[in-house]
Amino acid sequence: MENVETGFAEGIGDMRPGGKRRIIIPPELGPPVGPSIFFSAKQFEVFDVELLDLLVHLD
């Protein structure tokens, strides 16, 4: 999954359509830190996710 945070990609990697999950991403797997980034290096991110559909691209 290109352009997706490591922790988020791990959290949704084995989900199936219709599945629901709470994903808690620790700071070390979160977004990069810098002056233009909203998140702090010490914050956990919490997402409630429901996978509605899955599209597969075969190259």
Nearest one of 19, 22, 21, 23 to 52, comparing CA atoms: 19
- Which H/E stretch holds residue 34? none
pLDDT at 11: 87
pLDDT at 43: 80
- Which H/E stretch holds residue 9? helix 6-12
pLDDT tens, residue by residue, 27-45? 887 776 666 556 566 788 8
- Which H/E stretch holds residue 2? none
Residue 3 pLDDT class (50, 70, 90 cuts): low
% of the chain residues with pLDDT over 70: 75
pLDDT at 20: 97
Each as own residue / partner, the long-range contacts of residues 1-5 (CB below 8 Å, 24 or more positions apart, any chain) are 5/29, 5/30, 5/31, 5/45
The pTM for the full model equals: 0.65
